Structure 1
Amino acid sequence: MAEILAFAGSNSSTSINFKLVEHTVSLVQDHDIQTLNMAEYDFPMYSEDHEAEHGFPDALVKLKERLEHSDAMVLSVNEHNGNPSAYFKNILDWLSRMDRNFLLNTKFMLMSTSPGRFGGVRSLVVVEGMIPKFGGEVVSTFSLKSFNENFGEAGILDDDMKSQHQKALDTFLNSLNK
């Protein structure tokens, strides 16, 4: 049984990426899952001056401890102007200052969604390239296009996207058993 940490790279209280994360982990059995709502975490913007004067924020230290106790992660990243949000990039900047390999040997199911037809895929591609730099391994990816039309109370509505999501989830879960 793997320890899975699940969260979205968004600090919005109405994050559609967090909704996708919650749906995804609701489909997982036989693993210990911790879900984090990042809207509850506030981090100062990274700067060398802030780090030198104040050290690492307590919330960041606690987040890093959770990361260290996880074998795998389900992460859905939001997109701002074709890139990951400044909030998520800021978290990566802080964590990499604490430990460059803070994701060492961690497997990822990486996802994205947006209200638009591209589903946040540009941000997903950027983060997919970043995770290995910190020691993580992206095992599977999934992008849900046009969230408002393709997601409802029952989860993913479009049959093709639902199938793609399940395949990405199965690939991720199968990698945890190896």
Structure 2
Amino acid sequence: MTKTKHAGLLLGFTLLFSLSANALASPSPPTTGTYINATTYMSGAQLDAWYSMTRRLKSNFDNICADSFCGGYFSNIEALRYNCSVDQTTGHIGMCAWTFAASNEEVDPISGSIVVEKGSWRCRTPLDQNIGIAKLITALAGSTPLHAPLPGSRLTILDGLVNDCFF
């Protein structure tokens, strides 16, 4: 095989591999949508109220965890982040979800190594459509946002955890 043919084959394989890798790559998220992160949408006092509410949510979860969700296989469930998507043109919520993580560790009696099983959950908040972020923050402004009725509903964030995630 001549040097020219060899170089041509090499170039062809490189191009084919490059195209195949691009086809297998994850698609890029759309950049023309109107939904943004709730914390990007808010500012000032509303943003402060949001962060205060999410701290109380975590505290509420920590208070009930041992007696409910954290009594089983994963006994160290940690609340990571509560987040919502907001339509930047209307202020309406697209979705809210709370993420959690946990682990269970076992010692391998033969090798002495630690075997870890990881768990993670994305728990949706059962919100009605066309709820504005300001209404959600107002509804959850008390000391127990985990148990507070969501706007336009009798359901709570806790109901979402029970129905969507842990039981």
Q: Fold match, TM over 0.5? A: no
Query: Which of the pair has the greater relative contact order for Cα pairs under 8 Å at 6+ separation?
Result: 1
Alignment TM-score, normalising by the size of structure 1: 0.31
The TM-score with structure 2 as length reference comes to 0.32
Larger radius of gyration: 2
Higher helix share: 1
